[in-house]
Structure 1
Amino acid sequence: MNSKKPLYSLTQQQIIEKIQVNIPFTMLVERQWQDLFFNSGLNPEIGLAAEALDAFSLSDFKGFADRFHNRNRSITIHGPFMDLSPGSPDPKIRELTVSRFKQLIDAVSVFKPKTVVCHAGYEHARYGFCKEKWLEHAVDTWKWLGKELYDRGTRLMLENVYETDPAELMQVIDPLDPAYIGYCLDVGHLASFGKYPLDQWLNATGKYIGQLHLHDNYGDHDSHLGMGKGSINFDPLFEYIKRMTKKPVVTLEPHEQEDFIASLAFLEQSDFLSLFS
């Protein structure tokens, strides 16, 4: 994957000031990605998967946090999710999940992010048979983590992944305190795994939206394409953002640099900056 610094138009540079761009910490430690993020002035959404939490120290994290903060860059964090289950009926799985989140909390104290995104975690195909018990445990887990993060100056955002309709997600979010916890609407996940159109999700979840994850696909695979390279119609989302009093944090989630460039061009053509005026 090419990490050469691209040339941006003035409008694209202004867009960059307002958005986050995803980068796993395990990639950020590589020199070419440091050059891209620091030289281009990108605001990172740093992925802290289990590998990063185990392999790097708080001192390692602080070194990067300081470099971003000294450049007046804003940081958001994406928490670990692989094989974790905040509502698992197995107490050992929940114990492991909480253990990973405790590592996340320590890292948050160093990075001082605006938000921390975690997958809400409900999958009907896996947990439908124990739904009520799963939800009970998950709400307890998220209440605890949300308060811990709030006490450290940040806000937890729960993201949709395999939830097929907004009602599934709202069962997790509705019982939570919106002062501590909001909703990260992932438009690409909605298109890949959801069964309802974007406008219905917005109507059902809009009051909780505090963050957006933007990428594209054709509805058959979570391919994280650049915006405009798939079949997602972003117009309902942009119209909704216009009406929002408190604007959400916006994160681009490309998996290739060319898809980041495509998303920037798409936002420029869509008059993205006007949504925040």
Structure 2
Amino acid sequence: MIYISHLLPDHEMNEIIEQTGVGIESIEFSIADNLDHLNDSIGSYRERLKFMDCRGLTLHGPFMNIDPAAFDSEVRKITMMRFHQTYTAGMELGAKKIIYHTCMNPYVHYLQGWPERVAEFFGEFLEKHKELEVVMENVFDPQIDPVLDVYKLLGEKYPNFHLCFDMGHAHCYSKIPVLEWTEKLAPYVTHVHVHDNNGDRDSHAALGAGNIPYERVLGLLPETRERTWTIECCSKKDVLQSIRVLHNISRTRKENLQRSRELFDIKLPNC
């Protein structure tokens, strides 16, 4: 399943959905003002989803001014409340997944003890939120292992918890090559944020417009029943270009798989 981030006007979202049949990843409930008026926001967005002819929905959680690793108990309470509000919206609107950031800030957080604090927060959250899949997304994270450590601390106990891999973030915010990020996280990734950049800034460009080796990255993330993709581009043209790329890669994979099956089915002649 391919989703597109709701970064475009509603009428353009509708046009793309009518043309391609993709779903929507909403950022509506990552915005504090909308969470402050949650019932009204859910009602109005439900009508917008009807207008856009939504075929499937994921929600992006809040990420501004919150911190799952916070030592300040009040910051932690606010973070938990905002996470809960987005989850409530997801339940009301029929979302399949909720995406939350790690909220790692390398200029603020010490890596020592960070995975344990984040895992403690998400564990408490997941104890009361078991219906929808929750995926944790890398953003400013400079290293792979702390993200992976959070999953290892939680994955076995909470089957609805997985990772969201953002290839654009890994490419521009970490010195570790994006292919190494992909290879290490791939077994635990059930959602992928798809966009391109040149490694200098988070430009959210179309696949092929930057220098991410996207074919190799996506080659390490083969299609599974659980894995989904969201295209995070800021223009209709870039979204459509990226959808075409994903479809072409999927088509090539299926053709190669079919060829392999045909080769294995060839019967050797009798000697």
Indicate the TM-score class for this superposition, using the shorter chain for normalisation.
0.7 to 0.9
The superposition leaves residues 117-169 of structure 1 with CA deviations (integer Å, 9 ceiling, x where unpaired) of 1101223321117x41x443321221133344323xx2001001011121121
Matched, 1:94 2:72: no
Q: 1:58 aligns with which of 42, 53, 66?
A: 42
CA distance in 1, matches of 2:3, 2:226: 14
What TM-score comes out, normalization by structure 1 length? 0.79
CA RMSD for the aligned pairs? Answer: 2.5
In structure 2, the gaps of 5 or more residues are 258-271
Matched, 1:123 2:109: no
Q: 1:33 to 1:54 in 2, by over 3 A?
A: farther
Q: Tell me if the contact between 1:61 and 1:107 (Cα under 8 Å) persists in the aligned partners.
A: no
The superposition leaves residues 83-129 of structure 1 with CA deviations (integer Å, 9 ceiling, x where unpaired) of 11011111111111111112112201212211111101223321117
Q: Tell me if the contact between 1:214 and 1:251 (Cα under 8 Å) persists in the aligned partners.
A: yes
Matched, 1:114 2:96: yes
Structure of higher CA gyration radius = 2
Q: Tell me if the contact between 1:65 and 1:110 (Cα under 8 Å) persists in the aligned partners.
A: no
Matched, 1:172 2:150: yes
Aligned to 2:107, the other structure's residue is in SS state helix
CA distance in 1, matches of 2:245, 2:42: 37
Q: Tell me if the contact between 1:37 and 1:44 (Cα under 8 Å) persists in the aligned partners.
A: no
Aligned to 2:108, the other structure's residue is in SS state helix
Q: Tell me if the contact between 2:87 and 2:98 (Cα under 8 Å) persists in the aligned partners.
A: no
CA distance in 2, matches of 1:146, 1:194: 28
Q: 1:146 aligns with which of 126, 130, 133?
A: 126
CA distance in 2, matches of 1:23, 1:107: 16
Q: 1:273 to 1:52 in 2, by over 3 A?
A: farther
Q: Tell me if the contact between 1:241 and 1:275 (Cα under 8 Å) persists in the aligned partners.
A: no
**Per-residue deviation, 1:189:** 0.3
Mapping 1:31-46, distance limit 5 Å = 32-33=11-12, 35-36=14-15, 39-40=18-19, 41-46=21-26
Q: Tell me if the contact between 1:78 and 1:118 (Cα under 8 Å) persists in the aligned partners.
A: yes
CA distance in 1, matches of 2:251, 2:71: 45
Counterpart of 1:83 in structure 2 is: 65
Counterpart of 2:204 in structure 1 is: 224
Matched, 1:238 2:218: yes
CA distance in 1, matches of 2:126, 2:182: 23
CA distance in 2, matches of 1:124, 1:171: 16
Q: Read off the aligned partner of 2:68 and give its amino acid letter.
A: P
Q: Read off the aligned partner of 2:117 and give its amino acid letter.
A: H
Q: 1:265 to 1:105 in 2, by over 3 A?
A: closer
CA distance in 2, matches of 1:253, 1:136: 30
Q: Read off the aligned partner of 1:75 and give its amino acid letter.
A: L
Q: Read off the aligned partner of 1:168 and give its amino acid letter.
A: P
Counterpart of 1:199 in structure 2 is: 179
Matched, 1:252 2:231: yes
In structure 1, the gaps of 5 or more residues are 1-17
CA distance in 2, matches of 1:124, 1:204: 20
CA distance in 2, matches of 1:97, 1:255: 27
The superposition leaves residues 214-255 of structure 1 with CA deviations (integer Å, 9 ceiling, x where unpaired) of 00000000000011111110122232233x654511110001
